[in-house]
Amino acid sequence: MIPIYDVPTAQASILKRQPPDEFEVTESVLAGIERRFGERLSPEEAVRKVLKEVRQSGDAALREWTKKIDGFDLADFRVPEGQITRAKSRVSSEVCAALEFAADRIRNFHQRQPAISWIDSQPEGILGQLVRPIERVGVYVPGGTAPLPSTLLMTAIPAQVAGVKDIIVCTPSANDVILQAAATIGVTQIYTLGGAQAVAAMAYGTETVPKVDKIVGPGNLFVTIAKRMVYGTVGIDGLLGPTETLVIGDDGSNAQLAAADLLAQAEHDVLASAILLTPSRNFAEKVKTAVADRVHKLERAEILRESLTNRSGIVVVDNLQQAFELANAYAPEHLCLLLEDAYQWVGSVQHAGGVFLGEQSYEVLGDYVAGPSHSMPTGGSARFGSPLNVLDFVKIVSLIGLKNSAELSQQAAVLARSEQLTAHAAAAEARIKE
């Protein structure tokens, strides 16, 4: 079920990165678009159409597209605050306690991140940076085959720590657990909207949904395309594609735990990637057997089989050093080191969204309760991107308050004339003459 590859074959298949605009579009996706839009459109064309209509027609377009795409009529998109408050009575005390536990750990982790203004006084004046929170942030919480209240906590809490005063949430499935997650952290603006239409509403604003300054949170193909298209009108956290885990293990690792971790990742959706790198053929075979033994016992077996067969695999490498070289080239969202001396290999890690050290620091803990946000860079963007954090919700304003700037003005004038910008030079020279 989960194939075993040699390195060259893996590099040409499961370890090969595709540009984000060259995503695969299945026939079922194209057929779904044709069914809802009444014509054969590419995903980009479909999203562009939704964005345009929401921008032009506001709430009316939101209602139309929510009915066409999600299949239900909405008189009012906003979830009443009373409904959010009452959610607790419909959620088990065990889940409520777990949400509070996770929220506390996420908040405590992010409160340790420095994001402070500074001002340096010098004889020539002052220089500094003002750190200011973004005013209004929109959070997208997926609500498809697996609604994710954890995503609400992982995205909204860092924004709260940064000082964002206005947080709105859009989700196609405002179920009771998602509502209770919002209530746990004091978020009250929730809209039952999903897909590209939710992104459009947050980016452009409608009669009901306020326009935001930045949109964060993962979503499906259409959400990701929409975020890319509205970037510039609003900020975005990144283009968060299908989730991925890369595990490194050897003969000293536990094959059952490795299999469990691969399956936990693969069950997200059919495009999820769960990859094991190991220098041991014997360990590879043990993990393959353990995966096959476990799949049929799990509820999302159908999704697992497709993900494991098409997007995942076990790669037998020459040694652990080669495993880390391949991992850095792949730049995974999650890098899980199921090694006895995992910490000793941290220096070999260059590119990863998050590094999980040892069998007790498994990726599922990162999904829920470890502390760092589980919204991490995918698709190789860990080469330049970071997990969602407090700095994603602030902006830096440069502060310049100079006096007696004759010497600086002289150098500025020289550089301005080298660029043939004579008005710039004249403005600088006017200060020299004073």
Tell me the catalytic residues.
333-334
Cβ atoms 172, 195 nearer than 8 A: yes
Question: Can you read off the two tokens belonging to residue 132?
Answer: 């200011």
Check residue 79 and report its DSSP letter.
P
Whole-number Å distance between alpha carbons of 308 and 295: 10
Helix (H, G, I), strand (E, B) or coil at 330: helix
Q: What are phi and psi for residue 16, nearest 5 degrees? A: -85, 125
Name 41's Cβ contacts closer than 8 Å, sequence gap at least 6. Answer: 33, 34, 49
| Unique residue bearing structure tokens 């929170």 | 133
**Nearest 10 degrees: CA dihedral of 316, 321, 326, 330?**
130
Residue 299, number of CB atoms within 10 A of its CB = 8
Distance CA 433, CA 421 (A): 19
User: How many residues in the chain?
Assistant: 434
Rg (CA), the chain: 25
What is the distance of C-alpha 126 from the center of its chain?
Answer: 37
H runs (alpha helix) in 70-135:
81-86, 93-110
